[in-house]
Structure 1
């Protein structure tokens, strides 16, 4: 006997909240956040806009869910009793995972810089990180500062990365080739060799510096 629950009025077979959020992320990457409407997203999924309200009750819920989906897919899910002694590696994986997630869906960046991530699924994830840090000996306020500082670093770095990439694709880096090597020998050498220009390397360096500073602040 089938155990499938009957679908409610307006629901569509195979459509889930996660599928709606994933399609919304893809849509925003292709067309931009300003183009996202319930009607436009419904057309992408082949359903009426009203059908989407069975999965996300409002446009705000859709936006919150997109942030949640991006955040929870990208950041490692720690167990509730995560080892406090590995907090540095935990934060490092958190930062690198979030960067990769935002690079996969850069269209979400305007939301990440202007809207708090406050769904229960997102807050559950943050709660575990806070528990890990407080068990490691950090004051609760300091622990929250640590997480927020990392998030700001990630969002700002990804925003800069994507902007530089767009400028380079549009030929906006021509000024590098015009540098006078007699006046700027070190900058010309860096541009020619690529030293100090790798985004992932710079990001890892910044994260390591922050985490080292966090560790010293606890002593």
Structure 2
């Protein structure tokens, strides 16, 4: 999955486009579209393709029934379009996260946060192709960050630790979601499910593989294969890893609580 790194354009123009404050030029053809409509058309194309490779300003313009050059009066570049697309779909997460008090505890809040992001990635796989080391500074991106931080606000962590916790959960969810999406793509590309693939390779492997030479790998691999019916189960990895993260964070929170008691 190729990674895109937007952010090379004019920051001031991009911020204005993200926040809806950029004024269209007074000269030229009458503007019949909005930035929101352009972003929606691009998102629909990317969702259909489940990829960003073939997304272009020309394809978006064709989907909207306008000329490619006219599209640049709404959005300056493909990089800017990617940032607006990402900020747009983040609105879904803000809505699904709900109010901060909806969760019974900070642990359940992190579980909810993880689930919302997991489902976002599965709905919009292309989101994982956009490197967010420099996230789009749009209203939905900031609202999402604010809402996620409230999950761990007031539990005894420093501000830097709060940010680190959110990053830690995101890193886990993104990594496993990427594996899940790639696994789905492999099935589509090969036309074989994991079970079908294993049945095709097992005879050849049995001729060269000696379980006594790799006793632990043989035992554990067989147990995992029987449990997952595949070589890997992203859903299990997601749930297992998330619970281990939360358990570790609970130790830190308890230590801070006892230190201030």
Whether TM-score is above 0.5 comes out as: yes
Separation in structure 1 between the aligned mates of residue 219 and residue 63 of structure 2, nearest angstrom? 52
Aligned to 1:3: none
Give the secondary structure class of the aligned counterpart of 2:160: helix
| TM-score normalised by the chain length of structure 1 | 0.77
1:38 and 1:59 in contact (8 A); partners too:
yes
Q: What is the match of residue 116 of structure 2?
A: 97
Find the aligned partners of 1:114 and 1:34 in 2 and give their Cα distance.
20
Pairing partner for 1:204 from 239, 246, 257: 239
Task: Work out which of the residue numbers 15, 24, 27 in structure 1 matches 2:45.
Answer: 27
What TM-score results when the alignment is normalised by the length of structure 2? Answer: 0.66
Taking structure 1 as reference, are residues 132 and 104 closer, same or farther at Cα in structure 2, changes over 3 Å only? closer
SS at match of 1:33: coil
The answer on whether the counterparts of 2:169 and 2:242 sit within 8 Å (CA) in structure 1 is yes
- What displacement does 1:131 show? 3.7
How many Å separate the matches in 1 of 2:82 and 2:243? Answer: 31
Q: For residues 48-63 of structure 1, what are the structure 2 equivalents within 5 Å?
A: 48-53=67-72, 55-63=74-82
Q: Sort the Cα spacing of 1:185 and 1:31 in 2 relative to 1 into closer, same or farther, 3 A.
A: closer
More RCO (CA 8 Å, sep 6+): 2
1:11 to 31, 34, 38: 31
Would the aligned equivalents of 2:106 and 2:151 in 1 still touch at CA under 8 Å?
A: yes
Distance 1:218 1:189 in 2: 35
Residue matched to 1:218: 253
Q: Tell me, yes or no, if the aligned pair for 1:24 and 1:41 is still in contact at 8 Å.
A: yes
Indicate the larger mover: 197-206 or 151-160: 197-206
- 2:206 paired with 1:188: no
| Stretch moving more, 207-216 or 194-203 | 194-203
Displacement of 1:111: 0.4
**1:72 CA displacement:** 2.6
Number of residue pairs the alignment of both structures matches: 210
Structure 1 runs not aligned, ≥5 long: 1-6
**Greater C-alpha radius of gyration:** 2
